[in-house]
Amino acid sequence: MGNDAPAEIVAISSQVVRGSVGNRAVVFSLEAMGHPVLSLPTVILPWHPGHGNSTRLALPDEGFSAILDDLAASPGAGGVRAVITGYFASSGQAEAAARFIGQLKARAPDLVYLCDPVLGDEGGLYVAEDIASVIRDQLIPLADIATPNRFELGWLAGAPLDSNAQALDAAIALGPRRVLVTSAVAMMAGGTGNLLLTDRHALLAEHRLVNDAPKGLGDLTAALFLSRLLKGGSDERALQMATASVFEILARAVKRGSDELMLAEDHHSFSTPMAMVQMRHLLHPSRNRTS
């Protein structure tokens, strides 16, 4: 995937005034890794909803779609090499994003699209079901990379996933060439990890579980994994380095007692993480089937 020019990336997700979630995490980390980023918010919030109720300003569907049409028609659109999407505030926004990505891919078939299907967590869906359905039916089929958490992959697959074997089967059925599942089932005691399925590899990157983790880990993982791939890293190396970076930044934030990831203070961890990550090669689902 890599070449000498930095990859220009369009980032579409939520925007908070305070904190390190959504596009705040995505844009900061991608720019720190050297990528020019075009950032479009879907909704503007003072802080993550987990910190308490607050004002919520969603971009109207018509205006949101018009901005994407402007971007697609602009002379600079030819320089875009990747798109990453996260949280959508309406099904209309998700539909507009699907049209936009389809337009870019028609013009540049090698464009990389990463869909982070922000749907919910173990507590259930926290987006409306019509939004989740558009992500499943229109955005996932366009994706080269998907980065669901285990709950989200289970919702997309239509069944809960209690093991990595079930998650791998669901990932291969999902469709994208690369599926990175966060909050995977750990094989090490007291651990957690990220599970990656590609056409050739099933990989698990594990580290110790950090309690009371701030929000934004999925956003950061998706952005750093995308960056590593765009820079030409192998699937295994991209998974290992992205996981190590996020674990290191998380552990440092919790040690300081912060309720947010501290990306400005820990930006060096994007490119040169020192944290240890246990890498495992798992049996690929396609090799576990009999005819």
Average pLDDT of the segment spanning 225-235:
97
Average pLDDT of the segment spanning 268-286:
94
78-133 tens-digit pLDDT? 899 999 999 999 999 999 999 999 999 999 999 999 999 999 998 889 999 999 99
| DSSP line for 99-128 | HHHHHHHHH-TT-EEEE----EETTEE-S-
Q: What is the arrangement of strands in the sheet containing 278-281, beginning at the earlier edge strand? A: 57-58, 37-45, 8-16, 80-85, 112-115, 145-146, 178-184, 191-197, 202-208, 278-281
Give me the helix-helix angle, 217-230 and 235-255, nearest 10°: 150
How does the average pLDDT of the chain come out, rounded? Answer: 94
Average pLDDT of the segment spanning 218-244:
97
- Segments making up each domain of the chain, as ranges: 8-287
3.30.420.10, 3.10.20.310, 3.40.1190.20, 3.40.50.300: CATH of 8-287: 3.40.1190.20
Closest CA to 235 of 177, 153, 171, 163: 177
Specify the range with the lowest mean pLDDT, choosing from 29-38, 39-48, 121-130, 228-237.
121-130
Say what the pTM is. 0.96
124-166 tens-digit pLDDT? 899 999 999 999 999 999 999 999 999 999 999 999 999 999 9
Average pLDDT of the segment spanning 164-171:
96
Tokens 């919910």 appear where?
120
pLDDT for 2 beyond 80: no
Closest CA to 25 of 215, 219, 225, 194: 219
Contact 147, 218 (CB under 8 A): yes
Average pLDDT of the segment spanning 58-72:
97
